């Protein structure tokens, strides 16, 4: 893998809550295997973002915000700050939710 250019990944409270909400849903409606797969994909995406922070498409609504596709059901909304070499995770967004409610 390429050399990491991001020094720190920061999770907002909203990112933590939305991640936990998805994990709880998967635990309730699916299997442990699905939970493990989601957690692994999240870890892989964060690892990829550390090397390629601009991999997500730019948001149309907010400057400096990017949207990465985690899987066919979930997007990861984040911001990359090159000056501080940080990524701030804002939200895990289920693609079946009303897109009008997404503020990013």
What 3 state SS string does the chain have? CCCCCCCEEEECHHHHHHHHHHHHHHHHHCCHHHHHHHHHHHHHHHHHHHHCCCCCEECCCCCCEEEEEEECCEEEEEEEECCCCEEEEEEEEECCCCHHHCCC
pLDDT surpassing 60 at residue 1: no
Q: pLDDT by residue (tens digit) across 10-33? A: 999 999 999 999 999 999 999 999
Please check whether residue 54 is in contact with residue 80, taking contact to mean a CB–CB distance below 8 angstroms. yes
How many CB atoms are closer than 10 A to CB 65? 19
Q: pLDDT by residue (tens digit) across 46-57? A: 999 999 999 999
Q: pLDDT by residue (tens digit) across 36-87? A: 999 999 999 999 999 999 999 999 999 899 999 999 999 999 999 999 999 9
pLDDT score, position 100: 75
pTM above 0.95, yes or no: no
Q: Please, what are the domains in the chain? A: 8-95 (3.30.2310.20)
């Amino acid at each position: 893998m390429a050399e990491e250019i991001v020094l720190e990944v920061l999770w907002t409270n909203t990112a933590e809550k939305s991640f936990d909400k998805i994990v709880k849903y998967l635990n309730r409606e699916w299997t442990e295997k699905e939970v493990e797969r989601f957690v692994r994909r999240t870890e892989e995406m964060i690892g990829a973002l550390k090397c390629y922070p601009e991999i997500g498409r730019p948001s149309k609504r907010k400057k400096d915000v990017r949207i990465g596709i985690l899987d066919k059901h979930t997007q990861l909304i984040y911001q990359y700050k090159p000056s501080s070499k940080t990524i701030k995770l804002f939200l895990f967004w289920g693609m079946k939710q009303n897109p009008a409610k997404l503020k990013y």
